[in-house]
Amino acid sequence: MRSESPFTTSPGAGRRCRRAWLAALLLPTLLAAAPAPEGDYVESIDTLYNNLTVQRRGTIVELRARARQTEALESAVDLSDPLKLVVAYTRTLYAGLFAQPDPRRVLMIGLGGAGFHRLFAAAYPDSLLQTVELDPKVLELCVERMGFEPTAQTPVAVMDGRMFVKRDRRQWDWLILDAFRGGFVPPHLKTVEFYRECAARLDDRGVFISNLHSNTELYYSDIKTIREVFPQVLLFKTRGWGNVIAVAVKYRTPDITKPASWPPPAVLARPEFAGRLDLAAIRRELIPIPEEKVRAARLLSDDFAPVEFLDSIEANNRKNDD
């Protein structure tokens, strides 16, 4: 059963949470960001949570996060076609349609540059896409540099994603986890306890969707931990990139692991997808679960979540092999 209240806590705490939620909706009008520079530019911004770079080249604006002497692409938008999915993995997030083809309520943890949001809002104008973003500067840059305009259907709450999941009692058709800091996911968003909290917020036929990086040991622990909570898990590897999108459900039947059971791409297509999103291509991105390595991986919990350590092992190994 769905709850319509954005937060259900004690009366006093509920009022505070609702005020914070409404303030987050109004944040774009309250931010005092400087106007975007004319023409091409590069800006570097340090915040409490991130070291960010915003770069414009022609009509493309990229948001990148700096960490460990590298920069990870967080998001990008083509200002000449804001619905275009510039960053490839944002297309693969739509693999959730194969398991839940009617996403009326979507919770997304991680805003980035709202690369996913614009096409979703255009294709599903009556659906709610609630976003949670930890860093208020990311929202500011997204609005002022990347042209994103939050609405009543695409609100943004500025707070920790796990705290939002704990406090907000609504049920979701899709719950998307795409929260990175310089290429790394905060450890408390990687544990079996957090995934159980996410499962509790999903509708009976809801889908959990998570952006994983496939080139480290953390990848196998990610999969093992997700499978501890969700009995059915699909993996889609974005062509030409290291991103793998996990699509998981909390029920055992019906079986979603066979592509023959999925709705055909033509049935799922929306007019806004034309030239921007090829669902048949995403269908072909399905890959098998690496069972042997997943069995050998460590389960991530609130008491054991060495995310950056696991994420760096493979990187260091590759460096030593060069």
Q: How far apart are CA 36 and CA 269, in angstroms?
A: 35
- Cβ neighbors of 80 (< 8 A, separation 6 or more) are 59
Helix locations, 36-95, DSSP H: 88-92
- β-pair partners for 232: 249
Least Cα distance to 141 among 168, 178, 114 occurs for 114
Known catalytic residues are 178
3-class secondary structure, 186? coil
Decide: 256 and 98 in contact? Cβ < 8 Å: yes
Tokens of 181: 């800091």
Write out the two tokens for 260. Answer: 């023959």
Q: Are 274 and 265 in contact (CB under 8 A)?
A: no
Q: How many CB atoms lie within 10 A of CB 97?
A: 24
Backbone angles phi, psi at 156, to 5 degrees: -125, 120
Phi, psi of 133, deg, nearest 5? -130, 130
Do 267 and 291 form a contact (C-beta atoms < 8 A)?
no
Name which of 75, 35, 33, 31 is nearest 55 in CA terms. 75
